[in-house]
Amino acid sequence: MTDEIIALDLETTGLNPRTDSILEIGAVRIKNGRVEDTYAAFINIGKKIPEFIVGLTGITDEMAAGGLSLPEALEGFLDFAGETPVLGHNITFDYSFLKQNFANLGRNFDREGIDTLAIAKKFLPELPSRSLEALCLHYGIGQEKKHRAYEDAVSAYRLYECLGREFQSVSPAAFDPKPLFYQVKKENPITISQKRYLNDLIKYHRIESNVKIDTLTKSEASRMIDGIILQYGKIIRR
């Protein structure tokens, strides 16, 4: 078992780090089994959160609107975590979002990590489900708020402890941090012509929007333009 780790969980608007957004970062610095410090941040994504995600996480548009900008939240997490390895349940998912979003800002983010899902798959193949919720139930780990970043990060570490007590003697290396990998695709920012056309579409169709257009990537802007045209139609020049 590692002496110091950052237990991490993200809540996002979807599953694709190239097209979806980080809504919440929850992280806990744990040293010798004790919580030393915490980091939690909502992120103002500048657009409406899908209803399914609101229902799943409880994170509303109002909560996100009061959050940090993405660069502020990522910088805060980096200051908090330093170079310490990260731990999470399906940590590759969380790492992929961090890696992609740091890359979009021109920053590198390389880490070692521990994946409690991979450990559970190795030692508990007979369980019908190895979701965080199912494994916490299996070990009697209480979860106050499911699908919220800070609480899920703490639960993942408690799961790591339970798995370690039962299986570390069988395979100590399974509980050590390992390099994490994700192939980044650099996302270009919105172009000047996209920004101009998007603003024209919103004004022409009198659409009420809280989207921060300047923060969109080129692909996000393209999808937003296509969506407006599909729903409202093109601008008709007279």
DSSP tally for the chain: helices H, then strands E: 9, 6
Nearest to 23 by CA among 8, 32, 13: 13
**Which residue in the block uniquely carries the two structure tokens 């990590």?**
113
Q: How far apart are CA 94 and CA 8, in angstroms?
A: 8
Per-residue pLDDT at 177: 97
Q: How far apart are CA 52 and CA 182, in angstroms?
A: 26
pTM (2 d.p.):
0.82
CATH tag, 4-179: 3.30.420.10
Structure tokens at 159: 């799961």
Per-residue pLDDT at 12: 96
pLDDT in tens, 193-234: 999 999 999 999 999 887 888 888 888 888 889 889 988 999
Contacts of 65 (CB under 8 A, 6+ apart): 44, 210
Q: Are 127 and 120 in contact (CB under 8 A)?
A: yes
Q: What angle do the packed helices 132-139 and 116-123 form, to 10 degrees?
A: 60
Residue 37 has pLDDT above 80, yes or no: yes
Residue 147 has pLDDT above 80, yes or no: no
Sequence spans of domains, the chain:
4-179, 192-232
Burial annotation 44-67 (CB, 10 A radius, 16+ → b, else e)? bbbbebeeebbeebebeeebbeeb
pLDDT greater at residue 170 or residue 144: 170
Look at residue 155 and give its three-state secondary structure.
helix
- State the CB neighbour count (10 A cutoff) for residue 196: 11
Q: What are all long-range contacts of 158-164, with beta carbons under 8 Å and residues at least 24 apart?
A: 159/89, 159/116, 159/120, 159/132, 159/135, 160/1, 160/7, 160/87, 160/114, 160/116, 160/119, 161/1, 161/33, 163/116, 163/119, 163/120, 163/123, 164/1
Per-residue pLDDT at 143: 75
Helix (H) or strand (E) segment spanning residue 160: helix 149-167
pLDDT in tens, 40-77: 999 998 888 999 999 999 999 999 999 999 999 999 99
pLDDT in tens, 165-180: 999 999 999 999 999 9
Q: How far apart are CA 194 and CA 200, in angstroms?
A: 10
Provide the mean pLDDT of the chain. Answer: 92
Per-residue pLDDT at 205: 92
pLDDT in tens, 83-116: 999 999 999 999 999 999 998 888 899 999 999 9
Per-residue pLDDT at 47: 84
Residue 145 has pLDDT above 80, yes or no: no
Work out the burial of residue 209: count CB atoms within 10 Å of its CB; fewer than 13 is exposed, 13-18 middle, 19 or more buried.
middle
Query: If pLDDT is split at 50, 70 and 90, which confidence band does 136 have?
Result: very high
The amino acid occupying position 145 is K
Q: How far apart are CA 132 and CA 152, in angstroms?
A: 8
